[in-house]
Structure 1
Amino acid sequence: MSTPEIPGYQLDQRLLQHPLAELWHGRTFTGMEIIALVLSEDGARDETVVERLTRASRDAALVPGQQETPLWAANFNSSRPYAITQLIPGQTGAERLIDPLDGIIGNDDVSLQAIRRQLSGYGAMPPDLPQADSIPSYADRPHQPQTQQPQTQAETEQSKIDVARQYSRKIGSWIYAVVAVVVLIVFSITYSIGSAIGSAVKKDDPVEVAAPAVSPEAIPAKVLIPPINIVTTAPYKRPDGSPGLFGATYAAGADLQVVANAELPFAIGWPRPPQVIRLGESSQLILRKVVTATEYDPANGLKNSFQAQVALHPCVSLAQCLADRPSFDQLWTKIYKTTAPATAKDARTWLTVSTKAPYTITMTHAFLSGGQWWLVGAMVYGQVAEAPDVQRVVNDIWRQTS
């Protein structure tokens, strides 16, 4: 299986390969180390696995404590859903993402031994557990004569989540002996998906777990994935006929469509009925595409190539935006397979124009909106005959962010 491609991240080492998921080490384009859990094609087709990953990620993002060990990014609608957490040596945030998955699988002795063998390669030392202190399994086992005493009602009602928590406490002493604690926590719990996940997910009926005494609050409407709040779009500035960066601009009072539903900090004027396509987002990158709705054919794709592809990166200041620009340009132009803007138009705007078919303009611009600094990268292209429309859209993005 090839290396997963996640916008904004470079995955460099696969830590675990499993039929339902892979675990990867990688970095953001700013150099921050991350751990990514990426479902396999089989895992992505399994609604139970995707639902568990989604719920676990929401918990990791929203329940108390996420400030110390944040869920960095997630996308549950991609062809291979994934969740990413920052790698912080000495902290254990990743298990908050994966632990809920542990409640639907068996923690049998075979799986535990396999985990220990794998983790030993990272320097982990297993604890001395009494032989009788084995961890219960919900996996299918060969039939054995029933010699044990009947279970009490309280025992049979014990939730699998409680069992998973007991499991986490029992293995804790040797997991904390590892330098990269976050890697090993995710690695151990993910690997325990091992021998029993297939039968547990496909054969068992879902088991309802009693709700905790205190339920978490509803997901706040303003929260996307920490630490980015859902972006507030600034009011659209109507065209006034003033000149732009390059070429044609919208005339004053021009009849155009306003794209205000792309969850960008600015709206965009579009010459025809627009359609927004969300390509993904993380704490460091937002990706959007705008096309013309009436020209979109689900069977054959776009009949007309005219479109805008936008990338957005948050900065704490203008100085940081300018410092991040080279790596940001390298990233977003690689994602969109285009040429980085090279000509400086002012102190915080860069532009490149290609007159070859398709006619293409790329722009990078640093701007302030609602107290937040941003870098925006835009690639707008179309047929050569559509060059004026391409110029108008680029100039409008520049105007809306100036």
Structure 2
Amino acid sequence: MSLSKGNDPASVKAPDVFDPQVFARGVPHDELRRLRDQAPVSWQDEHEVQDWPGGPGYWAVTRHADVKHVLRTPEVFSSSLGATQIRDPEPDDLAFIRRMMLNMDAPEHNRLRKLAGAVFTRRRLERSAEQIRERARGLIGAVAASGECDLTTEVTDDFPLLNLADLLGVPAEDRGLLLKWTNRVIGYQDPEHAEVMRDAAGKPVNPRSPAALKDMFEYARQLADHKRAHPGDDLMSALVEASLDGPELEMFFFLVVIAGNDTVRSALPGGVLALVEHPAEYRRLRASPSLLGTAIEEMLRWHPPVLTFRRTASQDTALAGTPIRAGDKVVVYHVSANYDERVFPDPDHFDITRTPNEHLAFGQGPHLCLGAHFGRLQMRIFFEEFLALLPEVTLSAAPTRLTSNFINGLTHLPLRW
């Protein structure tokens, strides 16, 4: 059976794994398994979604080996040509968007990654561990006596946001802005979080465009100016000292605030939900907290915070026997790769001792997540305190998922104990 590009009259239409509303109902694991088995590189139509226009379509890459190959060969699958989101940016915005490290290829990416890596050090991150632990204790302790909570709105929305604010050196009175900007960018397809912005003609403005993020970039400039005059022991002061300036500084601020916040914000409730839905493994972890290291890796495999990332073919090529033309969009599905039976025995079994566990939750290749260590640090501390401060928790109502084909988010996770 062929599940190839829709303009082939012999093709059979592939399952829709583009529509963000599909993911709002739950990750379409059956459809992704069908694609892995029958058409690991399949054509997806970008149909119109609500007010958002359609697009030219793209190749969905669903097997682990192919996802890893795409991420490891930036000379063929570019981050810069069309940026890294499924939706095409406005042509006038592309040059600005390419100033973000996420949307760069070598040699520009190598230069900025080296500069950022020099300040985003493990030592700097580890220094914040005790402050992170105090925050976890405070947030979880605040709900412990009530016997119930909505974990996302009462605990995990704030936890990574406040940790990042400390890391960046954002004043306490401004920290609500970080959540506002994150919801604007990540939640633009979601009915609860969308902040619809329109231009003078009434056309929806892309929430990742410079026009929609003008207030965020202006704040980054003001914070940088403040740190030049009043440097502190924080990441923004270090970036200024390292001579990162102008649009690159603004885009790095964007990257840290949005990506650094929402990956952990999504991974924490995802990990809790995995435990709740697998009570035997949950009790096993409660009885043996020393298993937390492998448990966190299994949580990341089971519920990767990022569903997809886009690349653009820079030349005619082929992937898994499928011809791809220069200029075609190629979208890798981390959430499918993490369930690939070719790599993970019994992938639908949540196993907190799974070893090896070569999940792709933090990516692969030159764009491997710069904040992966900080993300794991926050997850480890959070779950140490979660297991210590609360008895076994259960769901009090069905969770609500973010409407997104990019972030694997939970907007509500009602728990009781």
Higher relative contact order (CA 8 A, sep 6+): 2
Asked if these proteins are the same fold (TM beyond 0.5), I'd say no
Q: TM-score, normalised by structure 2?
A: 0.22
| Structure in which a larger fraction of residues adopt helix | 2
TM-score (norm 1): 0.23
